[in-house]
Structure 1
Amino acid sequence: MPTDDLPETLHVTTDEQLRAVSNLTRHRIMAVLRFEPATITQLADRLGLAKGSSSYHVRLLERAGLVRVVQTRKVRGVTERYYAMAARSIVLPKRGTGEPDVLMRHAVADLEAAPVDGERQVRMAHLRLTEAQFAELGERLNALADEYRELSDPSLPDVSLVFALFRPAAGEKTEEGTK
């Protein structure tokens, strides 16, 4: 199906787009469509949704310009639409102070919903880095994620990679230590 003409990046700039990507179900729909076009029925089956719910969420994503129809065909007198992402990657605006980190919330929800007996690798490391080391590590992590995204094969099972490189908020110091 024709998805080769997709732009590389779509920047989320409107409130409608931000609301659309903030929903966990729509996040999961976009995760499926990132690799291959799918119909409403295929999305519903894949994600365990009712067909009506799948249709509702896809319509909101389409209205926000985040997904688009890439093929239609007639099946027993009904027009079947295949949807795909509107771009290869979506860039969210920088969040403001106190705003929730939507991607990390979705990642945690996906991790918690993953089968407990399934294969997973979760790690947290506390580091002390210079500004240059921090920047270099961020660039290397992004390059590694991009490298493996290029190797992705739609016929293989889904794998999610999430990383967050950040400097934690400094706690208030008291005479006894950290508050």
Structure 2
Amino acid sequence: MAINSPVPDYDLEDTLELTTAEQVRAISDPLRTTILGLLHERAATVTELATAVKRPKSTVAHHVKVLADAGILRVVRTRRVRAIEERYYGRAARMFYYGLGRRSTSAQDPPDPNDLEVAAKESEGAYDAGQLRSFIRHARIPEERAAEFWRRVMPIIHEFDKLPRSGDTTYGFTVGLFPIFDYPTLPPTATEAEEDPSITER
């Protein structure tokens, strides 16, 4: 792929909200999330995807169908090779997200994927090799400030998605923002207590 080629090489939406249990189940399988990751680079056929993940073509075809039926993948172009029409699949959007209040709560549905847990497993090799770049910071802030900060992070995620592909190494980029329910907190200062009478000494 040329260094200045658009990534991926087909048109797609920036975001897609997952609103059904079918979509939650479709995106929760590890192999299907790997397929989605590969399609960030370019559109691909089932044969190409099967070669990349080293799984039987029939297995990959099944998972591609599940994603397509859920509206998460779509055919973005076709090519006729001899008498066979090859279908190239692409993502429906660069990013999939759960709307607030729509996360799966049914016992019949798989748990929503924890991206930080996935990243922890994927980063073990880099950590062992001394090649892991990571930071963690904590800040006691209101929920609205957290939401605003997260909105400012989103363009960086999209920028990473669109980087031209080159080289031989795939890098993972993980961001997370989450409440910690048992993190120690300093007591309020005298000034804070004076400005907000609702604050009580802890």
Percent identity of paired positions between Structure 1 and Structure 2:
32
CA apart distance, 1:79: 1.9
- 2:172 is aligned, of 156, 160, 163, to 160
Matched, 1:141 2:144: no
Match runs of 1:1-179 below 5 Å: 3-4=10-11, 6-94=12-100, 95=103, 100-104=111-115, 105-112=117-124, 117=129, 119-125=131-137, 127-131=138-142, 134-150=146-162, 152-156=163-167, 157-170=169-182
Give distance in 1, aligned partners of 2:84 and 2:130.
38
**TM norm structure 1:** 0.76
Give distance in 1, aligned partners of 2:61 and 2:97.
24
Q: Is the 8 A contact 1:24 1:106 kept in 2?
A: no
Secondary structure at the counterpart of residue 77 of structure 2: strand
Count of matched residue positions in the alignment of Structure 1 and Structure 2: 168
Secondary structure at the counterpart of residue 76 of structure 2: strand
Instruction: List runs of 5+ in structure 2 lacking aligned partners.
Output: 1-7, 184-202
AA of the residue aligned to 1:36: R
Q: Kindly tell me: are residues 84 and 115 of structure 1, through their superposed partners in 2, closer, same or farther at Cα, counting changes over 3 Å?
A: farther
Q: Kindly tell me: are residues 71 and 21 of structure 1, through their superposed partners in 2, closer, same or farther at Cα, counting changes over 3 Å?
A: same
AA of the residue aligned to 2:35: I
**TM norm structure 2:** 0.69
Q: Is the 8 A contact 2:24 2:104 kept in 1?
A: no
Give distance in 2, aligned partners of 1:102 and 1:87.
18
Secondary structure at the counterpart of residue 87 of structure 2: strand
Give distance in 1, aligned partners of 2:160 and 2:9.
22
Give distance in 1, aligned partners of 2:84 and 2:72.
24
Deviation per CA, 1:38-95: give whole Å up to 9, x if none: 1111111212222121111101101111001111112232221110001232122343
Greater Rg, structure 1 or structure 2? 2
Give the stretch that moved more between structures: 112-121 or 70-79. Answer: 112-121
AA of the residue aligned to 2:139: R
AA of the residue aligned to 2:84: V
Give distance in 1, aligned partners of 2:57 and 2:127.
24
Instruction: List runs of 5+ in structure 1 lacking aligned partners.
Output: 172-179
Give distance in 2, aligned partners of 1:119 and 1:74.
43
Q: Is the 8 A contact 1:36 1:154 kept in 2?
A: no
